[in-house]
Amino acid sequence: MTSTARHDGMSHGAPLPDARPRISRQTGQVEVVIPIVADSSTTRWDKVVGTADRLSRIISRLTLIPCIAAMGAMTVVVVVGVFFRYVLRNPLGWSEELSRYLMIWGALLAVSVAIQTREHVGISIVMERIPIRFARVITIVTKAIMIYFLAVLSYRGYAMAQRGTSQLAMSLGISMYWPLMAVPVSGALSIVQLVLQAIVDTRMSSVRALMGIPTIDSLTGSQERRARG
């Protein structure tokens, strides 16, 4: 079997000599695909962490599909709206509102994807100066606080969407339930990703990996192995 280990993250099992790096299409970062052999040193928790990491990646990739579709559709709607308004002098009444709701859905769905790829803004100057054991604790506590906030946001957001069922969008004429549902859906996906990433955090090998910061040495080493391959 094979396992994909980031250049700055965790690894499982005993790597074989033919490990080959590749550039992730999703994150643009260098990853190393390492063939591994299951051995007795692999604990049950290591398997849980590996499963959580794979599940997190699958959910992220599935979330990217509607996210990209929404942002692509928004771009098309904006271009068409501009064309009708300034070229044909016949503005569309619905293009602005539709593009706004597509942007909201696309941006909020991307929140959970950024959690999985660890691309949200963070301050690492303090974290890099403390032992990895304490850094893991701080990171997990921070994620717990974020989960609580997102749970409240999702609950309130769903209640707001329910109240918007009887309201209609001015130009599109659709129920406001659908635009407002972007908040609870995004919150729920983000909570799932935070839980999975908290599990993955328990096996991170360095503070920089924990913060999602690539190292120059790991990038250089991966590129050299790729050139030799």
Task: Enter the tokens of residue 157.
Answer: 């957001």
Residue 39 burial by Cβ neighbours in a 10 Å radius (0-12, 13-18, 19+): exposed
Beta pairing partners, 20 = 33
Strand partners of residue 32: 5, 21
pLDDT in tens, 16-63: 444 455 566 655 665 544 444 444 457 899 999 999 999 999 999 999
Q: How long is the chain?
A: 229
Chain mean pLDDT for the chain: 82
pLDDT at residue 192, rounded to an integer = 97
Tokens of 58: 């699958």
Positive or negative, the CA dihedral 34, 36, 42, 47 is: positive
Q: What is the pTM of this model?
A: 0.75
Strands (DSSP E) found in the chain = 2-6, 14-15, 20-23, 30-37
